[in-house]
Amino acid sequence: MIKVTCSNGVVLNYDDTFVAGDLITMYNVGYYEFVKYEKRGNDSAPLVYGKQRYTANGKRRNSTKVEFCDASYCVRGTSKVKQIVDKLKQDIIDLEAMIN
């Protein structure tokens, strides 16, 4: 993780280890294939470019449109999906407890 202090004092953290093809989340809803970083100067996080590969609920989407957002909004998609799966597993356990 890289920490950047902007000229207005805001501190941003971002992951600088994404490589082409990694699954990431961006500011926009859904899961994206990482394309590249674009440096914007020393006092801001870079832009991250990606192509949407899945909707927020996991439906496949092969968009050719390249979207971008500030790197401080991006996280690894696999860790986000794991968090969702773990929560759903717990929800199932709770629901099963209600009927048993």
Give yes or no for a contact between 55 and 63, defined as CB atoms under 8 angstroms apart: no
- Whole-number pLDDT of residue 98: 94
Predicted TM-score (pTM) of this structure: 0.81
- Whole-number pLDDT of residue 1: 87
For every one of its 100 residues, what pLDDT tens digit does the chain have, with 9 covering 90 and above?
Answer: 899 998 888 999 999 999 999 999 999 999 999 999 999 988 889 999 999 999 988 899 989 999 999 999 999 998 888 988 999 999 999 999 999 8
